[in-house]
Structure formats: structure tokens, C-alpha cells
């Protein structure tokens, strides 16, 4: 196949056969988030590279290896967003939302770009649904956010869902912890993979996240964060657990969760499902109380999560979860080969659409027989044929496709009303 008719590796097309399913997933996400007070935002796909370097962190894999970075025509370094949080906090700061009433709760659906090795559930372009809360420090805010993620995933009927939580402490706790694991991993320096050798000096906690077998073995005996967490962080974490317990939300504490991005503090969490026999994180998030200051804003706490829409879709398909049926036309209006009839069919169809009724008209200049075949194929509930006779008399026949039952319908002024009455009769007899 010609190069220009092939999509770029790691990028995906969304076909009409799947789009109503994705629409449904996004609808559920937005509806649930609204119940928690989240408002939709949209940020640009391009941001200054430095925003991601400082927020996601220049020791993270995302920034070090995976960003789509280039110079624009003005010689500025810009990057395609690899995730949604950096843009969201930039939006809040730039527009002064943090100076208004708190908390600020925002949601987004954003295409994200990471130059990773494409594989099942891992793409170079993917869509994240994200929620971010700015200004709230309490564990109730962590609990509320996790409840929102949980209720979305439950409403989507995803089965075998695992919630894993951890606390990676505040800046002070992490400094002590980092010193301890630096010393520990330092003893195994020669056995670590090349990436982890590099991580050892720059960000040793990241070694805990490494997928390399040897590194995993070594990190299994590494000091654990819990032993370095201060009283306040520990209390915050215990309170979060009480909230989750009170809502009967099952979770396990996984001390290994450090998350791949640098900005986290205190609570981190992931929702995990199986796909093709392997665990897959479908939602990840946590608190990032220090991020505003890191990118030059005032100090204010924040927490959020990102859900991978493609991953959720893949899991739902694998679990055979049913989606609401896509809508079918109420009526297909076909016309005989006659100019006036064609215009009339077109006009009737538009009239129905103006009152939000899904209707279709022939635009292929097919014969009436093949128009009818098409109406059947697309699942239209009713069909009509308009010819010269119908135009002159102002009356046409409308056929219920399933039963074949035909009724006369006025195609003049009263058309829309009569159509609606016919529909009503069907439901109330």
C-alpha cells in the first residue's frame, strides 16, 4: 500500500462501527464527573517543552525518551502533550482560576502523544479522560476523586477491577526515602540495567518502577516508603483508607506504586484490569501538591487522575460488555425519479431533523427498489416513497418496516405532527 494511505505507526483510526461505543464511554465519564462538580476544559495539544520538562520531570521516561518535541517556525521548542495534567495546571495558573472559589474541579478529554513501543494497550497517540482538583488538601478530596474514578468504571460495568493505593509521602519524607534507596541500590549498581544506573543518581525511586527482571529482583528487597513517611502523611493516608472503607471500595496497598511521572506526592493510585492475561493500568493518578510551585505558580495542593480511553475500550470489548445500541433512523424517505418528488422528500426529511428526529433521504440517486433495500440495511423503522402522485395529493404512505403495516400520512403542513402522533401511538397503542 502507498505510504500516504497508511497511518503512522502507533496511531489509530476510530471507525464508525466503534465510534458510538467510544462516544458512550466518554458520555458516561462526563456525566459521572458532573455529579462531582467537574467542569470541562480544553487545552492546546502543543505546549512549551519546558512545561513538561519541569512538571512531568526531566528524569521521567516520558520526558527523556518519549516526547514528540520539535522547534516551531519561530525557533521555540514545543512538544505534543504526553499527558493532560501539565496543561490543566498551566490553564488554571494562566487564567487565575486558583484565585476564585476553591476547589477548582476540571475534566478533560485530551489526545496525548508518547513515542513508546506500540503494543497491546500502548499507543503513540491515545486519549486520556482526566479529572483534576485544585486547592483541596484534605484526604476527603483524595477519597472523592477515587470515588469518581470508581463510579465511572463501575457504571461502565468493568469487571475484575483492582484498586491499588500507596502514599509516597511529602517532599521531606521522600528526601529521606530517596537517600535510603540510593544507598541500597548503590550496592547493586553494576547489576542494574543501563536506565537504572542513570536513575540512581537522578531519581532513584524510579528504579522501583523498572520492568527489567534483575532490577525487579533487586528492588523487591529495597527499603519501603512506609518506614520513611512522616506523621502527617501517614495520617492523611489512614484517613483516605477510612473513607474508602466507609464506601466499601476494595483496595490493596501496593508499596511498589511510585508512578512514572515526577510530580506526585502523598497519595498515588492505580486501577488495574487484566487484558490478554496481563495486568493493564486503565487509570492512574495521585496528589501533586508541589507542582504549582515547580512551574512558577503559588503553593496550592492538587490531585487528579488520567484514564486511558483506548485501554478501557479494549478491556470492555474483551469482557464482552454490551454497549447501548447505536441509534437508527426513524424514517427513510425515498423518492421516484422526479425533480419535485426529490425536493419534497428532501424537505420532509429536513423538517423532521428540525424537531430532532433522525431521518434519512436518498442522496445516491438509486432506484426506489435499492433505496428500500438500503433503508432496510440501515435499520430504518419506517420508510416512505414520494412520487409525483404524492406531491400532487399531499398524502403519502408510511410503512413500518418490521410489520409492513402502511398508514396514510399528510405530507403538507401537518406532516411533522402526524409523524409524531404515529410514533406516540406505537408506544401507547
Binding of residue 260 to ligand HAM (CB under 6 A): yes
Chosen residue from 93, 173, 240, 283 binding ligand HAM by CB under 6 A: 283
Binding of residue 150 to ligand HAM (CB under 6 A): no
What's the rounded Cα separation, in Å, for the pair 27 and 39? 14
Chosen residue from 282, 314, 372, 386 binding ligand HAM by CB under 6 A: 282
Binding of residue 85 to ligand HAM (CB under 6 A): yes
Q: Judged by CB under 6 A, which stretch of 230-238, 277-285, 348-356, 359-367 contacts ligand HAM?
A: 277-285
Binding of residue 113 to ligand HAM (CB under 6 A): no
Binding of residue 308 to ligand HAM (CB under 6 A): yes
Beta-strand runs (E) in 137-293: 162-167, 252-253, 265-275, 278-287
Chosen residue from 310, 315, 398, 419 binding ligand HAM by CB under 6 A: 310
Q: Judged by CB under 6 A, which stretch of 102-110, 235-243, 300-308, 411-419 contacts ligand HAM?
A: 300-308
Q: Which is nearer to ligand HAM, 30 or 351 (CB)?
A: 30
What's the rounded Cα separation, in Å, for the pair 305 and 297? 21
Binding of residue 132 to ligand HAM (CB under 6 A): yes
Chosen residue from 23, 116, 347, 388 binding ligand HAM by CB under 6 A: 116
Orientation of helix 16-35 relative to helix 309-318, angle to 10°? 110
Q: How far is CA 306 from CA 23, 83, 215, 287, 394, in A?
A: 17, 8, 27, 12, 56
Q: What is the dihedral of CA 174, 180, 182, 183, to 10 degrees?
A: 170
CB atoms within 10 A of CB 245: 11
What's the rounded Cα separation, in Å, for the pair 412 and 105? 51
Binding of residue 169 to ligand HAM (CB under 6 A): no
CB of 115 to ligand HAM, least distance (A): 9
CB of 20 to ligand HAM, least distance (A): 21
CB of 235 to ligand HAM, least distance (A): 22
Phi, psi of 252, deg, nearest 5:
-130, 150
Q: Which is nearer to ligand HAM, 43 or 383 (CB)?
A: 43
Binding of residue 130 to ligand HAM (CB under 6 A): yes
Q: Grid coordinates 476494595 are at which residue?
A: 250
Q: What is the dihedral of CA 276, 278, 283, 286, to 10 degrees?
A: 180
Q: How far is CA 3 from CA 9, 12, 279, in A?
A: 11, 15, 34
What's the rounded Cα separation, in Å, for the pair 354 and 333? 15
Chosen residue from 139, 281, 292, 380 binding ligand HAM by CB under 6 A: 281
Q: Which is nearer to ligand HAM, 123 or 177 (CB)?
A: 123
Chosen residue from 103, 135, 204, 285 binding ligand HAM by CB under 6 A: 285
Restricting to residues 332-351, name those near ligand HAM by CB under 6 A.
none
Binding of residue 284 to ligand HAM (CB under 6 A): yes
Burial bucket for residue 262 (CB in 10 Å: 0-12, 13-18, 19+): buried
CB of 67 to ligand HAM, least distance (A): 12
Q: Grid coordinates 476544559 are at which residue?
A: 41
CB of 39 to ligand HAM, least distance (A): 16
Chosen residue from 38, 108, 123, 382 binding ligand HAM by CB under 6 A: 123
Q: Residue 407 is placed in which grid cell?
A: 398508514
Binding of residue 306 to ligand HAM (CB under 6 A): yes
Using alpha carbons, select from 50, 48, 70, 55 the residue that is nearest to residue 115: 70
Grouping H, G, I as helix, E, B as strand and the rest as coil, residue 47 is strand
Binding of residue 304 to ligand HAM (CB under 6 A): yes
CB of 257 to ligand HAM, least distance (A): 10
Residues that bind ligand HAM (CB under 6 A): 83-85, 114, 116, 121-123, 126, 128, 130, 132, 260-261, 281-286, 288, 304-308, 310-311
Amino acid at each position: 500500500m502507498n505510504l500516504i494511505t497508511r497511518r503512522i505507526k502507533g496511531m489509530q483510526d476510530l471507525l464508525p462501527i466503534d465510534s458510538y461505543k467510544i462516544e458512550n464511554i466518554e458520555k458516561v465519564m462526563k456525566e459521572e464527573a458532573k455529579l462531582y462538580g467537574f467542569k470541562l476544559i480544553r487545552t492546546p495539544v502543543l505546549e512549551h517543552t519546558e512545561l513538561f520538562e519541569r512538571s512531568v520531570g526531566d528524569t521521567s521516561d516520558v520526558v527523556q525518551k518519549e516526547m514528540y518535541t520539535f522547534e516551531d517556525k519561530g525557533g521555540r521548542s514545543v512538544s505534543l502533550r504526553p499527558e493532560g495534567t501539565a496543561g490543566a495546571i498551566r490553564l488554571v495558573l494562566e487564567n487565575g482560576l486558583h484565585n476564585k472559589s476553591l476547589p477548582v474541579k476540571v475534566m478533560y478529554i485530551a489526545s496525548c502523544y508518547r513515542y513508546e513501543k506500540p503494543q497491546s494497550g500502548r499507543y503513540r497517540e491515545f486519549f486520556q479522560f482526566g479529572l483534576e482538583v485544585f486547592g483541596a488538601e484534605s484526604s476527603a478530596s483524595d477519597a472523592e476523586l477515587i470515588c469518581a474514578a470508581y463510579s465511572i468504571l463501575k457504571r461502565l460495568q468493568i469487571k475484575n477491577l483492582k484498586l491499588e493505593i500507596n502514599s509516597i509521602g511529602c517532599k521531606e519524607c521522600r528526601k529521606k526515602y530517596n537517600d535510603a534507596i540510593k544507598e541500597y541500590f548503590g550496592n547493586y549498581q553494576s547489576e542494574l540495567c543501563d536506565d537504572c544506573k542513570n536513575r540512581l543518581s537522578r531519581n532513584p525511586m524510579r528504579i522501583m518502577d523498572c520492568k527489567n527482571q534483575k532490577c525487579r529482583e533487586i528492588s523487591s528487597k529495597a527499603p519501603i516508603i512506609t518506614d520513611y513517611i512522616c506523621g502527617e502523611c501517614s495520617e492523611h493516608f489512614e484517613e483516605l483508607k477510612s473513607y474508602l472503607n466507609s464506601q466499601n471500595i476494595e483496595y490493596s496497598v501496593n508499596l511498589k506504586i511510585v508512578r512514572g511521572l515526577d510530580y506526585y506526592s502523598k497519595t498515588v493510585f492505580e486501577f488495574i484490569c487484566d487484558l490478554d492475561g496481563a495486568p493493564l493500568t486503565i487509570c492512574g493518578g495521585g496528589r501533586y501538591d508541589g507542582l504549582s510551585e515547580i512551574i512558577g505558580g503559588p503553593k496550592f495542593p492538587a490531585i487528579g487522575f488520567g484514564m486511558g480511553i483506548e485501554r478501557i475500550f479494549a478491556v470492555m470489548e474483551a469482557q464482552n460488555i454490551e454497549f447501548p445500541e447505536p441509534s437508527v433512523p426513524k424514517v427513510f424517505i425515498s423518492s421516484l425519479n422526479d425533480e419535485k418528488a426529490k425536493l419534497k422528500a428532501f424537505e420532509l426529511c429536513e423538517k423532521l431533523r428540525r424537531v430532532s428526529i433522525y431521518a434519512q433521504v436518498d442522496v445516491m440517486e438509486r432506484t426506489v427498489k435499492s433505496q428500500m433495500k438500503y433503508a432496510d440495511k440501515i435499520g430504518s423503522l419506517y420508510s416512505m416513497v414520494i412520487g409525483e402522485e404524492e406531491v400532487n395529493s399531499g398524502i403519502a404512505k408510511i410503512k413500518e418496516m418490521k410489520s409492513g403495516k402502511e398508514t396514510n400520512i399528510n405530507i403538507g403542513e401537518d406532516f411533522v405532527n402526524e409523524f409524531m402522533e404515529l410514533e406516540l401511538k406505537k408506544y401507547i397503542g
